[in-house]
Structure 1
Amino acid sequence: MAPVAGHRHPRSSEEAETAAAVAAGQDGEEEPSVEVAFAGQPPPPWWRQVTVRSVAVSTVLGAVLSFMSMRIGLTAGVGPTFNIVASLLGFFVIKSWTRLLARFGVASQPFTRQENVVLQTCIISCSTLSFYGGFTTYLLAMTETVAKSAGGTGTGKDVYTLHTGNVVAFLGLVTFASLFCTLPLRKLMILDYKLMYPSGSAIAGIVNSFHTPAGAATAKRQVLAMSKAVVGSFMWASFQWVYTGGSGCGFQVFPLFGLKAYKQKFYFDFSASLVGVGMICPVLINFSMLFGSIITSFFLWPTLQSKKGDWYNDPSPTNFKGINGYKVPMGISMVLGDCLFQLGSITIRAASHFHMNRQQRNPGGTNIPADGNSDKQTALSYDERRRNKIFLNEGLPGYVSVAGYILFAAVSAIFVPRIFPQMRYYHVALLYAVAPILAFCNSYASGLCDWSLASVYAKLAIFLVGAWVGEASGGAIAGLAACGVMLMIIGNAAELMHDFKTGYLTLTSPLSMFISQVIGTALGCLINPLVFLSFEKLVGKEHLGEAGSVFSAPLATAYRGLAILSVEGTKILPKHSIEFCIAFFLMAFCLDCLSAVAKARKWKASNYIPNAMAMAIPFLIAPNIAIDMALGSLLLVIWKKTDKKNANMLAVVVASGLICGDGLWALPSALLSIFQIEPPICMKFFSSHQNKIMREHFLPKVTTSR
């Protein structure tokens, strides 16, 4: 029967468009379409993308990843990103749950890629607050323990006692404001300027592969590989615990390169999580850290130690009037030199890209709309047309975003000075006025090259506000609090754009993305303070940030150093420290210039020029971390040489599994500590001379009878 004119099937036009897209992809006229595979699966409405089960799973996984992130930050000074881990774990947990229900004949809502993205976004919104919330950086730097470790007295207006209620209120005010900061710019960033946001695009690719028939086999292999890595890493961590029955015992203090190197903290500590981090980080970054560790451990620090009594007299290894007065300022100088170059470079690139896009969009004085009414819009691919339709039709109006930000800014100006008395309302108001401009710059730059400068802007806030308030009025605490405001607003705004890019590429509703951000942020504001409180109870408040302890929090010491320098100036530093700082600042800047020139001219040596930022890290933390991460890179290089296909497919998930398994051991380890169950064996290493003395004084002499 012929169809009646004017009564076409409501989906016939879309089906025809889909068929055309398939034909175009087969003929090579367009790139292979992703959305053609999902043509028979229309995206569910936003209220079915944010589900009760996704929120429940987000709560559990957000708490676990927050714990692991905080633990790594407190020990290694590294802020790992768990985006891929969150996607994998979320997919694995809910898929397993739906299959379990199906075995018992219980029907459940299908697990869609949109729900997967919402789940991942919610988890990451919660876990990233372990870093942006300052629990391993600026908040911890306010405490008495870190103040003493950095050489201060730990008293007066320059320290602040962290009360859980105040921390929750501070996080809630600032982080919810960050959600509204750049929300009106999502169309400009993603549709008009077509910024890539590499991390967000990568997550979208993984999620799309998980939920398509073609990607099912790959997803199964990835989940299996990750499961094996988690189990292996967890078992290895539990095996190591058996040999840590005493101070300085266990595999963590294995003097692989000799006892002299061990005295300079140059050893391999068999940390599976740091090896996993090394597999994720670029090879050049890891080996730049190793190069910096070799220079500092074997050349620079021994030279400065030989000057004791001449250049400085303070014997404390942590006081800024002693050798720490060289280490931390020199490391910070290298960081600032690298950041200054990166800031200038990215600003120039962003301005050039912005101007070029503006000319392309407005060549004759008339803007070309991106709403489907222009000739340019008709030339879009099938995938872009489907994605643009959902991305433009759903979301919050711009005036709601502006009103929300202004409301939170006004409330923060009233209540933040009550939480931190060293600040005044005009300090907070100025920070909120400047933050959207910097957030736009940072989000634009992050979309171009996946590099967030939020921490750079935050460190500048320490100097500006700290100097403004002054030492007598508690400028160190005021500067650190200002750092928190800037870091959370600018960092979260960029993270939100990455999530919107993921949602755009998976046909996820922008409204459901925003709601998941709100839920994840609310969870993070409650979970992270409780996780930090658990560390205080289990480890001891006096040991969090203590120099030389397991939880030394190197980044907190660095932030404290910046705060001290901002209010006290250079008068507390030892002799020639300023000259060293200037030299290393210039060295970092020149190294970046050399690297940029080498890449521009395509020199072969460009891949071997060390990264200045990575070289600065061993100035602030122990070199054993660089050794673990370099080993991770070495294993990845060998894997790619022997089996490139499987390495490209599984390396990231295996690395994620190593991080997860080692981090999960922290939970039973904490329980063993609570119940005062000690490891049964102490494995320790001595020199032959020490062994001889021990045998003579502690072992009974063996006598023989005739």
Structure 2
Amino acid sequence: MQNNEVGFDSTKMKRKNSEDEVEVEEEEEKRENQQWSVERVFEDQEVPLWRNQLTIRAFVVSFVLSILFSFIVMKLNLTTGIIPSLNVSAGLLGFFFLKIWTTFLGKFGPLSQPFTRQENTVIQTCVVASSGIAFSGGFGSYLFGMSETIAKQSAEDSDYHKNPSLSWMIGFLFVVSFLGLFSVVPLRKVMIIDFKLTYPSGTATAHLINSFHTPAGAKLAKKQVKTLGKFFSFSFLWGFFQWFYTAGDDCGFAYFPTFGLKAYQNKFYFDFSATYVGVGMICPHIVNISVLLGGILSWGLMWPLIDTRKGHWYSAALESTNIHGLQGYKVFIAIAIILGDGLYNFFKVLSRTLAALFFQLRSRGASSGLPVVDHPSPKSLKLSYDDERRTRLFIKDQIPTWFAIAGYVTIAAISTATLPHIFHQLKWYYILVIYIFAPTLAFCNAYGCGLTDWSLASTYGKLAIFTIGAWAGASHGGVLAGLAACGVMMNIVSTASDLTQDFKTGYLTLSSPRSMFVSQVIGTAMGCIISPCVFWLFYKAFDDLGHPGSEYPSPNAVIYRNMAILGVQGFSALPKNCLLLCYVFFGLAIAINLIKDSSGKKWSRFIPLPMAMAIPFYLGPYFAIDMAMGSLILFVWQKIDRRKADNFGPAVASGLICGDGIWTLPSSILALAGIKPPICMKFLSRGSNSRVDKFLESLG
């Protein structure tokens, strides 16, 4: 009996000890969660009302930064079309400018409103929305592809063209750029809270802004801004210095034959572009390697080999820029790779979207997780302090569904009535069909972007090119109709994914959905005016804009126009054996993607990206060497000091891009004023130099 009692007491004691251990573990876990809780850091700060998040000073700073970033995006658009994410730069510079503003005013008395992370989020949202129009507006693709300059380089008669004009460009953007915003507003809660989509870029931006507004983060941000300022100044002054040596064609450091004259003829040289060194530091290493591999494959192997077939595959009398000659292979093989990669990713993201939706709707009552996201354990199904606070405030400021639907219908009606007057080839019923399907496609793009961080706006635009172009037909201006339809579709799906991503950023920074929506609308309106004006400055300042081999060749404009021709006329415009090569590279793009997706994470990161490989096929690998140099600098820096490279690498890259990008403004003004550089620095072979010397002696 006694033994039993002892045994019972011993068991009770063990059970009590076990319960105490569980309580201690739970208490430690609770303390750890509190320690790592972002919102507990800010719990003493009152969250401003949504109207107070939208300040005049925020929009003044946004306007200034929008001009800067529009120049950067426009320059990238008109050179290679590779545009890195500038969200980090926008958040960092927004923090810097308003911090200076508030610090300066604080010296004269107490501030009526402190600078909050919500206000920082509003600036970032507004700037990215505005500069995003410089991309989705098609100034380096479909819109400029309508011009006579690009039409003359294409495979068809240039009768169907529409030259840029400031009035119709601004009008066009205003009637097509806002529909995407209204199309996804009713689904914001489903996307962010119910489906818990990750939106990696939006999440990363939110974490960055949250860190800026902590004492340690603010200290690091000041150092980052100081670094950005140094490299901004260096990049700007380097662009100014180079300008003095560009008095004629092919003059200046940008034409330095780094690897010899033979390599230079095949576009292999380092052109001393601070912009693309910076882009290389921001882009993942695999992107830079893919671009370089594409340049080696095309300009190092394929084009020299096809050039030996001159007179057999195409007429030897054709100019190098004629689309029926070697130029046709460059353009259409690049198109084949882009279409292969785009269609593969389109169906991949669509299938993942449909599978995730099916799973979500099937298990809606059990869990709100996605099959592509790690499911929480039963213990963690309860909302954390951060999630509970964020969800409460996100739901608090509702945007009425009727408002979104009424806005979409109203703008769609105005757009359907207006667009046929801008583009006579684009009939009202084409536009109506696009607007019927657009909300579904906008949802798919926003959802897919949340899963993969990959916006397929350009792919949806290409689908519109082929469908509307083929529907209109060659005799009814199908090329222009297809390009205009591309613009309508791209603007809808692009702004939809951008807004949803900003909702995610706002959710994580306790910014109201209403302030996010209003700042996105204001930023879009800014972009509809700023971007056409910036493009108009380029268009008027540089007479050779859009010409192959010029400073701003706008390669995507040629590619988009030829896609439209392909959709309308079929394959009749292709030179001999070009179609066969297009099939091969179309299949190769799909095969590479399949191999990449079927390989494990360990090996897939070494497999190149077909889309990135396609870019230098038309343009040449010179910018790929710049990007590879930027990638190499970052790689070595990470090996030496990983933490410092991660903290300051984006600031250095942003400084290089911003400085060189803003130099474009004074250089354009100098060109418009007729002020030319004083020196032409040109590089000649020894034989050419001797002939020039003899010619000059004969003149003397």
- TM-score under structure 2 length normalisation: 0.92
CA shift, 1:45, in A, is: 0.6
CA 1:164 to 1:677, structure 2 compared with 1: closer, same or farther past 3 Å? closer
Worse overlay, 412-421 or 604-613: 604-613
d(CA) in 1 for partners of 2:684 and 2:321? Answer: 26
- Name 2:189's counterpart in structure 1: 187
Q: Would the aligned equivalents of 1:296 and 1:619 in 2 still touch at CA under 8 Å?
A: yes
Could you tell me which residue of structure 1 aligns to residue 625 of structure 2? 627
Structure 2 counterpart of 1:666: 664
Shift of 1:105: 4.1
Aligned equivalent of 1:447, options 441, 447, 450: 450
- 2:396 and 2:158 mapped to 1: Cα distance? 55
SS class of match (1:438): helix
Code of the aligned partner of 1:640? Q
Superposed counterparts of 1:25-104, under 5 Å: 27-29=31-33, 32-104=36-108
Write the letter of the residue equivalent to 2:163: T
Matched ranges for 1:505-520 at <5 A: 505-520=508-523
Q: CA deviation at 1:434?
A: 0.8
CA gap 1:50/1:68 in 2 versus in 1, 3 angstroms: same
- Asked if the contact 2:299–2:620 (Cα under 8 Å) also holds between the matched residues in 1, the reply is no
**TM-superposed deviation, 1:99:** 1.6
Deviates more, 1:670-679 or 1:465-474: 670-679
Contact 1:77 1:621 in 2 (8 A): no
User: For the residues of structure 1 that align with 2:683 and 2:697, how far apart are their CA atoms?
Assistant: 17
Contact kept, 8 Å, 1:293 with 1:626, in 2: the verdict is yes
- C-alpha change, 1:465 and 1:31, in structure 2 (3 Å) is farther
Q: Please say which of residues 348-357 and 227-236 is displaced more in the overlay.
A: 348-357
Partners of 1:561 and 1:127 lie apart in 2 by 26
Equivalent positions of 1:233-632 (< 5 A) are 233-313=235-315, 315-363=318-366, 379-540=382-543, 543-599=544-600, 602=601, 604-632=602-630
Partner residue, 1:214:
216
- How far did 1:681 drift? 2.5
Shift of 1:65: 1.2
Distance in 2 of aligned mates of 1:699 and 1:286:
47
Distance 2:59 2:454 in 1: 29
Give the drift of 1:637. Answer: 0.5
In the alignment, residue 61 of structure 2 is paired with which amino acid?
V
Checking the alignment, whether the CA contact within 8 Å between 1:98 and 1:108 is kept in structure 2 is: no
| Residues 150 and 318, structure 1, Cα contact 8 Å, conserved in 2 | no
| Partners of 2:482 and 2:284 in 1: CA distance | 32
Tell me how far apart the structure 2 counterparts of residues 701 and 479 of structure 1 sit (CA, whole Å): 55
Aligned residues of 2:136 and 2:494 also touching (Cα < 8 A): yes
Q: Which segment is superposed worse, 298-307 or 348-357? A: 348-357
CA distance in 1, matches of 2:618, 2:103: 48
Are the aligned partners of 1:24 and 1:30 in contact in 2 as well (CA < 8 Å)?
no
In the TM superposition, residue 24 of structure 1 has moved relative to its aligned partner by 6.3
Whether 1:686 aligns to 2:690 is: no
Q: Which residue number in structure 2 is paired with residue 177 of structure 1?
A: 179
Query: Which of 625, 644, 653 is residue 655 of structure 1 equivalent to?
Result: 653
Q: Which runs of 5+ in 2 are unaligned?
A: 1-25, 369-377
The CA deviation at 1:364 is 11
Identity of aligned residues (%): 48
- Taking the TM superposition and a 5 Å limit, the aligned residue runs for 1:190-205 are 190-205=192-207
- TM-fit CA distance, 1:163: 2.9
Look up the SS of the partner of 1:28 in the other structure.
helix
Change (3 A) 1:193 1:364: closer
Question: Which one-letter code corresponds to 1:472 in the other structure?
Answer: S
Which shows bigger deviation, 606-615 or 124-133? Answer: 606-615
Q: Secondary structure at the match of 2:514?
A: helix
SS of match in other structure, 1:444? helix
1:677 aligns to what SS in structure 2?
Answer: coil
1:108 CA drift (Å) = 4.8
Asked if the contact 1:265/1:622 (under 8 Å) is kept, the reply is yes
The separation in 2 between residues aligned to 1:697 and 1:329, in whole angstroms, is 42
| 1:318-370 residue CA offsets vs partner (Å, 9 max, x unmatched) | 222111221111111111111222122222222333233334422499xxxxx
TM-score when normalising by structure 1: 0.91
Structure 2 counterpart of 1:577, one-letter code: C
User: Hey, which bits of structure 1, 4+ residues long, moved more than 4 A?
Assistant: 22-26, 375-378, 699-702
In structure 2, the residue matched to 1:8 is: none
| Secondary structure class of the residue paired with 2:249 | coil
Cα drift, residue 385 of structure 1: 0.8
Q: Do the aligned partners of residues 151 and 344 (structure 1) sit closer, same or farther apart at CA in structure 2, a change above 3 Å counting? A: closer
- Residue by residue, what CA displacement relative to the aligned partner does 1:454-478 show, whole Å, maximum 9, x if unpaired? 1111101100100100001000000
> Following the alignment from structure 2 to structure 1, what is the Cα–Cα distance between the partners of residues 100 and 111?
14
Contact kept, 8 Å, 1:339 with 1:456, in 2: the verdict is yes
Corresponding position: 1:147 with 2:132? no
Distance 1:44 1:590, change over 3 A: same
Count of residue pairs brought into register by the alignment: 666
Q: Is the 8 A contact 2:146 2:161 kept in 1?
A: yes
